[in-house]
Amino acid sequence: MRTLILIVGVLLSSYSFGQTKLDKSGLERKGFVFGLGIGAGVLNLSTNDTLSVSLSATLPNIKVGYMINNRLALVALLPGANYKYNGNDRGFEGFILAGQYWLKDKWWVLAGTGLTFDAAAFYTVKDPGTAGFYTGIPAFSLATGYEIWHKGSFVLDLQYRVFLGKSNLPNDGYRKGISNMLTVGFNWE
């Protein structure tokens, strides 16, 4: 009798587990992508012959794009870092066209290239003609992120981002920069 009860129990439990539908991916990404990143890190700037290394904040790192399929998005990215130059706040930033690819359900990588911007912080500009707005090429951004919380179309992730750029200054000068940032991303996918 014990053997019969054991066999019936195993068959019923197997049948019960066979009826459940487990969706392992559970994440469907489609349509537009929008994200903001807030964080801090280290900014290395070399202006002609001088080098400066400083802790820097980044706000906001903006990302706007469209999902091509469930794992690949094409995005326009505005990465960068804030720094002080002659006592004034400035931003060393870029406009990057990039691809973002999810290697796993929660882990993604991003790579792209574009244009460097080096400009006075918008809240410090009184006369745009004297603000000192410089551009240059190339600019590159590499990033990786891990999604720690997902609810509906909102995703909270932790990101590491490297941004490299070069801007052209007056009188054949230049400013090269590398920023390494850890950010918290607020995304809508």
pLDDT at 19: 45
Looking at per-residue confidence, does 28 or 136 come out higher?
A: 136
Residue 21 lies in a domain: no
Residue 100 lies in a domain: yes
Residue 3 lies in a domain: no
DSSP states of 41-107: EEEEEEETTEEEEEEEEEEEEEEEEEESSSSEEEEEEE-EEEEEETTEEEEEEEEEEEEEEESSSSE
Residue 106 lies in a domain: yes
CA distance 27 to 51: 45
Residue 84 lies in a domain: yes
State how far the alpha carbon of 64 is from the alpha carbons of 40, 88, 155, 157, in Å: 21, 29, 14, 16
Report the number of distinct structural domains present in the chain.
1
Residue 181 lies in a domain: yes
pLDDT tens per residue across span 98-132: 999 999 999 999 999 999 988 877 777 777 666 77
Q: Look up the domain containing 150 and give its range.
A: 30-188
Residue 99 lies in a domain: yes
DSSP designation for 87: T
CATH number at residue 155: 2.40.160.20
In the structure, what pLDDT confidence band is assigned to residue 3 with cuts at 50, 70 and 90?
Answer: low
Whether the pTM exceeds 0.85: the reply is no
* Joined tokens for residue 159: 């990101």
